[in-house]
Amino acid sequence: MYTFRRMLKASTLAAFSAAVLVSTAQEQVKLGQAITEVSLAKFDLIAEPSGTGFPAGSGTAQQGRTIFENRCAACHGSKGEGNSDATVLVGGNMQSAATPLRTVGSYWPYASTVFDFIRRAMPANAPKSLTDEETYQVAAYVLYLNGLVAEDEIMNAQTLPQVRMPNAEGFIDQSHIQ
């Protein structure tokens, strides 16, 4: 642990602008401005496995097909087959004898990540250009291409995080090793 509070001296920390004075040996500057969670509605894109952070709206794979063909297929193929190792979205089997192809369908442990990742990072040439509604639709389509949801199944904040992923039990948490 840093113990720099104790080391703090009354001194200026001249960086680019004249710095605020640290007045006493115990005092740390505190310049964070208070905000509310509500103010982050357009800023916070985190969609959690618990369903927290999923926006309003919904969509089906049926509705997502056209968006996928127009906005995703150039890089991911019209069936999600991809044009490189990095862009395959469909297929694979973790138990295959040969090195398994690891995709959304065969590898990913959480469906929430499909929505979270598409909303923050895809399409790669115009990230964050889809509406929440379109994101639900195209996420449903990616899950559908992997045989994980039906074509007309409605994906929303409640249903999408509940989609069971085949490799959900395939991960061993190592975070205790730090």
Partner 1 sequence: MTKSSKGQNIELDLDRVAANGLLSRRHLLSAALGGAGLAMARPVIGQEPGINLEIPAWSKTPGPGTSPYGNRSAHAQLERQSGFGNPLYPGGGASRSPLQHLQGTITPNSLHFERHHAGIPAIDPAGHKLVIHGLVHQPLVFDYEDLLKYQMVSKIYFLECSGNSGALLYGGNPDGTAQSLHGLVSCAEWTGIPLSALLEEAGLLPEARWIAAVGADAASMGRSIPLDKAMDDSLLALFQNGEPVRPEQGYPMRLFNPGWEGNTSVKWLTQIKVTRNPLQFRDETSKYTDTLPDRTSLQFTFPMDVKSLITSPSGQMRVTQGDIYRVTGIAWSGAGSIRRVEVSADGGQTWGDALIESQQLDKALVRFSIPWKWNGAPAVLQSRATDSAGNVQPTRDAVIAAKGTINRYHNPCIQSWGVNTAGEVTNVYV
Name the site residues for ligand HEC (rule: CB under 6 A).
71-72, 74-76, 86-87, 89, 103-104, 114, 117-118, 122-125, 138, 142
CB-based contact 164:147 (threshold 8 Å):
no
Amino acid, res. 13: L
CB-based contact 64:140 (threshold 8 Å):
yes
Q: Which is nearer to ligand HEC, 145 or 157 (CB)?
A: 145
Contact segment (CB under 8 A) with partner 1 among 57-65, 122-130, 138-146, 148-156 equals 122-130
* CA–CA–CA angle 164, 94, 77 (5° rounding): 80
Amino acid, res. 176: H
CB-based contact 83:77 (threshold 8 Å):
yes
Q: Mark 19-58 with x for binding to partner 1 (rule: CB under 8 A) and - for no binding.
A: xx-x-----xxxxxxxxxx--x--xxxx-xxx--------
Closest listed residue to residue 157, CA positions, set 123, 111, 105, 106: 111
3-state DSSP assignment of residue 86: helix
Interaction of residue 112 with partner 1, rule CB under 8 A: yes
Q: Which residues of the shown chain bind partner 1 in the complex (CB under 8 A)?
A: 1-2, 4, 8, 13, 15-17, 19-20, 22, 28-37, 40, 43-46, 48-50, 74-75, 83-84, 86-87, 94-95, 99-100, 102, 104, 107-110, 112-113, 116-117, 120-121, 124-125, 127-128, 170-175, 177-178
